[in-house]
Structure 1
Amino acid sequence: MTLYFLQAFIYLLAAVIAVPLAKRAGLGSVLGYLIAGVLIGPVLGLVGQETNTIQHFAEFGVVMMLFLVGLELEPKSLWAMRFRLLGLGGLQVVLTAAAGAGVAWWLGITWQTALAIGLILALSSTAIVLQTLNEKGLAKTEGGRNAFSVLLFQDIAVIPMLALIPLLALPELMGSGGGEAEHGALSIVAPLPGWAHALVVVTAIGAVIGGGFYLMPPLFRYVISAGLREVFTATALMMVIGIAALMGLVNLSPALGAFLGGVVLANSEFKHELEANIEPFKGLLLGLFFITVGAGINFGVLVSEWLTVLSVGVAVILIKGVVLLALAVIFRIRGSNRWLFALSLGQAGEFGFVLLTYSVNNHVIPTDLAQVLSLIVAFTMFLTPLLFIAYDRWVLPRYQSAPDAPREADAIDEYAPVIVAGVGRFGQVVCRLLRASNVPIVALDHEIEQIELSRKIRIKSYFGDATRSDLLETAGINEARLLIVAIDDPDRAVALVTHVKHHYPRVWVLARAFDRGHGYRLREAGADDVISETYHSALELGGHALTAMGVHPMRARQMTWAFIDNERASEKELFEAWKEIDGSARFSPHYGELFMQLEETLSRVMQQEWHEPERDDVPLWTPPEREA
């Protein structure tokens, strides 16, 4: 037992030291785990033959990863990005896999092994690319969004790849000790005839889908009623392990079952709780898996095959880059975004290690070739930070320095019930409040600095002029419930409100006004609710001033409420008087008379005797009715 504790301590210590250092160096956590494995394995020799045994256990982290991927695939989100997901992502995987398989076959490798190699090298590193895009604030750019679509398709494509690889098994490798097929150890379908085998498989998949819809929700509710968080965690793990075991019994990929289970529960009310409970286990097991990959690297192979690793690794990046650039042209990804898209996806990915291990276990790739391919995959991943540095230093400055080159609006493929036009100092506060309340939003602004700042604080923002009708349609104004107008130009704000209320009268428009006159213009344009940007902050400061002068805080609050009520009582009459004002005049005698009457009424209200507020004084509120 002491030996197991010591080995576990070595693995964890290596991760604790290497991963934070790798992230600080911009290499990402996956490369940090690989470096940790290399250090404790080939370099220091602290771990040995137990690495292969631990790797089989750690592969369950891949099952959990695909379950979490399935949880994120809500049908509405997938439908919104269907063209880039299927077109861009599908073509990238097919073309890159075909190119890789063709080169491998040309080099004399059997077509089954060549096809597996092509599939492995077609994948990119989801962990490294998404982390780097988020850190650099590039995730919401056109290039970043398209890269995400391709990565998402690749994650989904792993499922059919895992199902295809066992069909490519080579008889000559089955006796070479390349590994044992995982699913052959315990199978309930092995002795069955073909028709019965197919029936059992369909039944198992139906059980996963039906159980996710009808059995898991009441089970989770029963567990939650116990009030024990650890039991919910145990239930979540039991579900994923049970699905994986069921798939293994019918000779299917456990990852396929976990993915289906995640998709079924994507719209469940337990989605976020499941993610929170499974994520730590997934991260730890995946990290352990990558450490074992690093520890299993054969330095003797690296020394003897370094030229092959270097040349093939560079060739992989170049071939993938050419394919990605061609797709960027076809799908009209322009400017620096085209290069961001191509450079960010040029490497092989962490799923390559998974498919390599799976291919060896299923007698598709020989062990010695798998060792070389593992080094090539790791080498391309190590080069990823250099590709992003090349983008920052050489590509981006070239496009930013182009004279009078207007930036095109970002592609918007996400919809939300609330659209916020303008994410400046006013709009950001609104967005933060809505986001904290879990209200989905899409924010638009034509100032790139504001967009980049908003993305840094994780506000879903897109570059573009909200007053453009085509951009509003792309943002989903047809389906939106609210439009919040917080742009800094008074005239453009009025024009936006006029356009929306004319073409989309069902949308409720809330607008920020700079002053009273601007508020009247917005109301005349059709805004349903108008708030002056300085009104409530001035009242708040005035209340503090009253308190500083000795007024009781509750009395000061009552006085500000009375001020608001008095203003609202006269609001309609003042608005009608304002509409009578000549366009060339800023004031009229009638409006001035009404305004003075308002001030006199306000003065009388402030002099009234103060009394403690009763419960009935608190205004009642009923939520707005939702449309069916």
Structure 2
Amino acid sequence: MHDQGLLIIILLLATGVILVGVLRFLQLPAVFAYLLTGVILGPHALAVVPDLASTRQLAAFGVVFLMFSIGLEFSLSQFMSMRRLIFGMGAAQVLLTSVIFVGIALIIPLSWKTGVILGGILAMSSTAMVIRALAEKMEMQSRHGRIAVSVLLFQDLAVVPLLILIPALAGSAKELPHDLAMAGLKAVVVLLVLLVIGRPIMRPWFQLIANRKSTELFMLNVLLVTLALAWITEQAGLSLALGAFVAGMLISETAYRYQVEADIAPFRDILLGLFFVTIGMLVDLPAWWANIAWVLIVLLLIVFLKGFLVWGLSRLFGYEPGVALRSAIVLAQAGEFGFVLLALANQYQLLPAHVLQPVLGGMLLSMILAPILVERNGWIARKLVGSYRNHRDQQLTEIRAADLKAHVVLCGYGRVGQSVGRVLEEEAIPFIALDLDPVRVRQAQSAGESIFYGDASRRDVLQAAGIFSARAVVITYANVASSQRVLSIIKELRPELPVVVRAHDDSQLEKLEAAGADEVVPEVNEGALMLASQTLLLIGFPISTVLRRVRRFRQERYQFFRGAFWGGSEPGEDQASARLASIPLGETAFGLRLSLRELNLTSFGVSVVAVRRHGIRGRDPAPDTVLKSGDVLVLFGSPAALTKAELYVLEGNTAQETAVSA
């Protein structure tokens, strides 16, 4: 029996690893892999994994840690700033969905209890999938993104009362009001006791544990707090997940929330994966096929009915049709918490088998369609709503109104972008900043700064920002994929334009340079450099030595820190010191069709730092690189050596001999 149990675990892990790898390659969420694992190995297919109560109990802890993570994200300030959308549109969406499905259930006919449960299950959308997709598309702070996030936040909160409601519905109809009242009263009392007692205790307790400076002790403490509060709420007749949610809320107010979130993630992801495996085990493919019409009906209800509700509410809250449609498309799918509620309803036998399978099938199909719909939401909106294009054109007109020349385009105006903007402003260099946070844009515009609401990954937005007359572009995004999208458009529109890109560390260097970045500035490297320089100063090194060390580091790390491009004079510098020079090669240049090895520029005492071709700079070019018309050679050396090398490259041996004899 022991060997059989180990074999089952190995099969689960092997199937999960293969399917997760395949689906991640196809850019589909890992949740599908877990569901497919359950389908394949479950009792309705290969029957390798038995549907044991112990397995379901272990999988339930995945939901516990998921609710704990949601509690960690519970920010009162965030809720207050978005309260109109969260408690207005979010509440209306969940309530209206429930009411409509109660009506549908009564028409079919099913019991009103089944309708309430189905309404709660199908009102949920996929928080994990939508948030990730919006973040990758840089649409989190767009108007449809804020609507989606607000509705998702309320849906996550609505899970808590639904976790109380479903067990109460399992009782008799006569006792239902009493059961609901008692469940609500116990929930209020337990929550108040935990919050009143827990809030003043949690911070000093975590401080005491953290002072021991033991990673194992800290992790054990997180598990203790989470599971203890979950046990308390379960003993009160409520759910484990509710106690975990409260634990997350309490810890979110301490200074340790981010460390806790990082520590708990492995437990949450593995156990949540197991939970979805158990959901997949419920799938009965023959039953799906026998009820394929109902599966498709449920799918259409999820996508179109929920989408229509979100669209109507968005219009009611004053948003134009295009934004309303994008919000509807983004939220038109089932969600992880829907499966949580479905599993709970199945546990209490509140859903008949002929209802469970079509609902499960429709939910899964909607989540398979979701990545495609979310990715293409803007394209669909522009095709279906003509006025949406007009609204975007109005935004582009506002950007064009700046009408700057020889300026810098800042993509992103967060803390990093604003710091760059301050430097440019002090040097009297005009700039245009593009950002997708409407609050930030409004505040910065009111302060008189040149910032506009716009998505820099859109070709028309960059054109409106004057990309063809700009001197340079600075991309300040922390997300590499977003920076790559912007780079691809810039290199398509104007390949010779210099682009500087922010990165977290050197691991992102090759990706960004391959996408066309002229310089990549890793924050980790610069932070380490500043820490080292300050340390040297504090232990007594002279400032001249520190500055020399800093310069040497940057010369080694950044190719274009090998000296500098000088103007007519550089105060405070040795006029004979090495510097950079760029040499454009015209159609009559002597060096055309010659390789760098054949030119042998090192004989002049200069080194070739880069060759810029079609707007893309190749650092440390190979000796076999053959020069072509339109190339730009970037050389490093003393002024005298650079002069000789330039004459030779442009005019040949005669010029070299003339320069040498002179």
Using a 3 Å threshold, how does the CA distance of structure 1 residues 223 and 108 change in structure 2: closer, same or farther?
same
| 1:386-434 deviations in Å (ceiling 9; x for gaps) | 4235535433467799776445779xxxxxxxxxxx9717967834989
- In the alignment, the residues of structure 1 paired with residue 414 and residue 81 of structure 2 have an alpha-carbon distance, to the nearest angstrom, of 25
Residue 281 (structure 2) aligns with: 295
Q: How many residues align?
A: 445
Matched letter for residue 282 of structure 2: G
Residue 85 (structure 1) aligns with: 86
Residue 98 (structure 1) aligns with: 99
For the pair 1:139 / 2:140, whether they are aligned, the reply is yes
Q: Greater shift after overlay, 333-342 or 308-317?
A: 333-342
Residue 554 (structure 1) aligns with: 544
For the pair 1:469 / 2:446, whether they are aligned, the reply is yes
Kindly indicate whether the alpha-carbon contact (under 8 Å) linking 1:165 and 1:359 is maintained by their aligned counterparts in 2: yes
- In the alignment, the residues of structure 2 paired with residue 432 and residue 8 of structure 1 have an alpha-carbon distance, to the nearest angstrom, of 52
Kindly indicate whether the alpha-carbon contact (under 8 Å) linking 1:42 and 1:299 is maintained by their aligned counterparts in 2: no
Using a 3 Å threshold, how does the CA distance of structure 1 residues 200 and 211 change in structure 2: closer, same or farther?
same
- In the alignment, the residues of structure 2 paired with residue 75 and residue 556 of structure 1 have an alpha-carbon distance, to the nearest angstrom, of 45
For the pair 1:225 / 2:211, whether they are aligned, the reply is yes
CA root-mean-square deviation:
4.1
Using a 3 Å threshold, how does the CA distance of structure 1 residues 28 and 392 change in structure 2: closer, same or farther?
farther
How far off is 1:31 after superposition?
2.1
- In the alignment, the residues of structure 1 paired with residue 291 and residue 412 of structure 2 have an alpha-carbon distance, to the nearest angstrom, of 59
Q: How does 1:278-317 map to 2 (within 5 A)?
A: 278-317=264-303
How far off is 1:85 after superposition?
0.5
Using a 3 Å threshold, how does the CA distance of structure 1 residues 56 and 300 change in structure 2: closer, same or farther?
farther
Kindly indicate whether the alpha-carbon contact (under 8 Å) linking 1:464 and 1:471 is maintained by their aligned counterparts in 2: no
Residue 10 (structure 1) aligns with: 11
Q: Greater shift after overlay, 116-125 or 46-55?
A: 46-55
How far off is 1:48 after superposition?
3.0
- In the alignment, the residues of structure 2 paired with residue 111 and residue 471 of structure 1 have an alpha-carbon distance, to the nearest angstrom, of 58
- In the alignment, the residues of structure 2 paired with residue 344 and residue 139 of structure 1 have an alpha-carbon distance, to the nearest angstrom, of 12
How far off is 1:286 after superposition?
0.9
How far off is 1:226 after superposition?
2.5
How far off is 1:130 after superposition?
1.5
Matched letter for residue 74 of structure 1: S
Using a 3 Å threshold, how does the CA distance of structure 1 residues 471 and 242 change in structure 2: closer, same or farther?
farther
Q: Greater shift after overlay, 35-44 or 25-34?
A: 35-44
Kindly indicate whether the alpha-carbon contact (under 8 Å) linking 2:279 and 2:343 is maintained by their aligned counterparts in 1: no
* SS of residue matched to 1:424: strand
* SS of residue matched to 2:332: coil
Kindly indicate whether the alpha-carbon contact (under 8 Å) linking 1:125 and 1:348 is maintained by their aligned counterparts in 2: yes
How far off is 1:47 after superposition?
2.5
Q: How does 1:431-446 map to 2 (within 5 A)?
A: 431=417
- In the alignment, the residues of structure 2 paired with residue 432 and residue 58 of structure 1 have an alpha-carbon distance, to the nearest angstrom, of 46
Q: Greater shift after overlay, 79-88 or 214-223?
A: 214-223
Residue 127 (structure 1) aligns with: 128
Q: Greater shift after overlay, 392-401 or 243-252?
A: 392-401
| 1:346-378 deviations in Å (ceiling 9; x for gaps) | 112121111112112234323443233222221
| 1:462-486 deviations in Å (ceiling 9; x for gaps) | 78576643999x99xxxxxxxxxxx
Kindly indicate whether the alpha-carbon contact (under 8 Å) linking 1:120 and 1:352 is maintained by their aligned counterparts in 2: yes
| 1:246-301 deviations in Å (ceiling 9; x for gaps) | 11111012222221222222221111111111121111111111112112211221
- In the alignment, the residues of structure 1 paired with residue 389 and residue 312 of structure 2 have an alpha-carbon distance, to the nearest angstrom, of 26
- In the alignment, the residues of structure 1 paired with residue 210 and residue 185 of structure 2 have an alpha-carbon distance, to the nearest angstrom, of 35
Kindly indicate whether the alpha-carbon contact (under 8 Å) linking 1:22 and 1:32 is maintained by their aligned counterparts in 2: yes
Q: How does 1:387-398 map to 2 (within 5 A)?
A: 387-388=373-374, 390-396=376-382
Residue 370 (structure 2) aligns with: 384
How far off is 1:243 after superposition?
0.8
Residue 338 (structure 2) aligns with: 352
| 1:146-169 deviations in Å (ceiling 9; x for gaps) | 101100100000001111112222
- In the alignment, the residues of structure 2 paired with residue 404 and residue 110 of structure 1 have an alpha-carbon distance, to the nearest angstrom, of 47
- In the alignment, the residues of structure 2 paired with residue 337 and residue 251 of structure 1 have an alpha-carbon distance, to the nearest angstrom, of 43
Residue 19 (structure 1) aligns with: 20
Using a 3 Å threshold, how does the CA distance of structure 1 residues 86 and 402 change in structure 2: closer, same or farther?
closer
- In the alignment, the residues of structure 2 paired with residue 319 and residue 200 of structure 1 have an alpha-carbon distance, to the nearest angstrom, of 35
What is the percentage of aligned positions where both structures have the same residue?
29
Residue 518 (structure 1) aligns with: none
Kindly indicate whether the alpha-carbon contact (under 8 Å) linking 2:302 and 2:363 is maintained by their aligned counterparts in 1: no
* SS of residue matched to 1:140: coil
Residue 269 (structure 1) aligns with: 255
- In the alignment, the residues of structure 1 paired with residue 85 and residue 446 of structure 2 have an alpha-carbon distance, to the nearest angstrom, of 23
How far off is 1:52 after superposition?
4.9
| 1:436-459 deviations in Å (ceiling 9; x for gaps) | xxxxxxxxx976xx447xxxxxxx
* SS of residue matched to 1:161: helix
Kindly indicate whether the alpha-carbon contact (under 8 Å) linking 2:90 and 2:152 is maintained by their aligned counterparts in 1: yes
* SS of residue matched to 2:213: coil
Matched letter for residue 358 of structure 1: L
* SS of residue matched to 1:268: coil
The higher relative CO (CA closer than 8 Å, separation ≥ 6) is in 1
Using a 3 Å threshold, how does the CA distance of structure 1 residues 98 and 200 change in structure 2: closer, same or farther?
closer
Instruction: Flag structure 2 segments of 5+ consecutive residues without an equivalent.
Output: 397-407, 421-430, 453-464, 467-541, 552-568, 575-662
TM-score (norm 1): 0.62
Kindly indicate whether the alpha-carbon contact (under 8 Å) linking 2:321 and 2:387 is maintained by their aligned counterparts in 1: no
Kindly indicate whether the alpha-carbon contact (under 8 Å) linking 2:126 and 2:336 is maintained by their aligned counterparts in 1: yes
Instruction: Flag structure 1 segments of 5+ consecutive residues without an equivalent.
Output: 175-189, 411-421, 435-444, 453-459, 476-487, 490-551, 562-598, 607-628
Using a 3 Å threshold, how does the CA distance of structure 1 residues 216 and 468 change in structure 2: closer, same or farther?
closer
Kindly indicate whether the alpha-carbon contact (under 8 Å) linking 2:413 and 2:435 is maintained by their aligned counterparts in 1: no
Q: How does 1:157-236 map to 2 (within 5 A)?
A: 157-169=158-170, 171=172, 204-236=190-222
- In the alignment, the residues of structure 2 paired with residue 119 and residue 376 of structure 1 have an alpha-carbon distance, to the nearest angstrom, of 15
Matched letter for residue 279 of structure 1: A
Residue 520 (structure 1) aligns with: none
Kindly indicate whether the alpha-carbon contact (under 8 Å) linking 1:14 and 1:36 is maintained by their aligned counterparts in 2: yes
